[in-house]
Amino acid sequence: MNKGELIEIIAQEADLSKAAAGRALEAILSNIVKTVAKKQDVQITGFGSFKAVKRPARTGRNPSTGVAIKIAATTVPRFTAGTAFKAAVAKKKS
């Protein structure tokens, strides 16, 4: 599913226009990004949580030459699925 398909589903299920559903989805996503960028957690009960985590510096390898390279430490976003989300996915696989 892509963003356009998600907007279409939101519009149908919430009885909104596609434009309103698109604005709502953009507002949700942009606020999640802004909050995590401030290194604050976003927790949506039953769905999951978004947070910023520090990834330490490490040594990698250039795949074409095999030469060791240093990869700098950075902060990356992480999503952890909630219990209800995990249960819904597990039931579909069975």
Each residue's pLDDT tens digit, 23-63:
999 999 999 999 999 999 999 999 999 999 999 999 999 99
Query: Could you tell me if 47 and 89 lie in one domain?
Result: yes
Q: What is the mean pLDDT of residues 68-91?
A: 94
d(CA 12, CA 69): 50
The boundaries of the domain holding residue 22 are 1-38
* Residue 91's pLDDT band (cuts 50, 70, 90): confident
Q: Determine the residue type at 44.
A: I
Provide the number of structural domains found in the chain.
Answer: 2
Return the DSSP state at 84. Answer: H
Query: Could you tell me if 21 and 62 lie in one domain?
Result: no
